[in-house]
Amino acid sequence: MTETHTYDVAIEWTGNLGTGTDTYRSFSRDHEILATGTGKTPIAASSDPAFRGDASRWNPEELLVASVAQCHMLWYLHLCAAGGVTVVDYEDRAHGVMTMDAHGGGGQITEVALRPEVTVAEPSMVDTARALHGDVHAVCFIARSVNFPIRHEPVIRVQ
């Protein structure tokens, strides 16, 4: 039997400035992302500032890159725990690239670079800690769902 999980979110547009979408410039791209029925704090979102969005809010492209980085981290920590590597600190400065179509209007994320800085408890764990980054792609739900390359540029340190 196949196991499935569902994820329900709601998007609520908050950018009607009085005349709706009367013109391209007459409305804000502001919206909220809500996890329906959970009571979670809404995420204030907008479009990228290049597309008339609010730079102080999350945009979909940032959220996609964040999802890739989160999923990688969570699976990596799991694989480390299972593989005898004690991680004591983990930070990632992920970087995504969106390439626009030459014909205007469309584009797509063309790559994400993950740059995790991992601190492990013992020097003997460094090689395994580095190698496990390469194993994450096979199990990470998000990485398995996207059609762009995800590069890993880990830095491993010892506590």
What average pLDDT score do residues 28-51 get? 91
H-state helical runs in the chain = 60-83, 126-136
* Diameter of the chain measured on Cα atoms: 64
Is-contact 98 134, C-beta < 8 A?
Answer: no
**pLDDT tens-digit readout, 69-109:** 999 999 999 999 999 999 999 999 999 999 998 887 789 99
Instruction: Name the pTM for this structure.
Output: 0.89
Report pLDDT digits (tens) over 3-24. 988 888 998 889 999 988 888 8
- pLDDT bin (cut points 50, 70, 90) of residue 38 is confident
**Among residues 71, 45, 70, which one has the least CA distance to residue 60?**
45
Contact 71, 142 (CB under 8 A): yes
**Average pLDDT of the residues in 131-137:** 96
Amino acid 4: pLDDT: 85
Contact call for residues 128 and 86 (beta carbons, < 8 A): no
CATH code assigned to 60-158 = 3.30.300.20
What band does 55 get if pLDDT is binned at 50, 70 and 90? very high
Q: For residues 142 and 109, is the Cβ–Cβ distance under 8 A?
A: no
The residue extents of the domains of the chain are: 9-51, 60-158
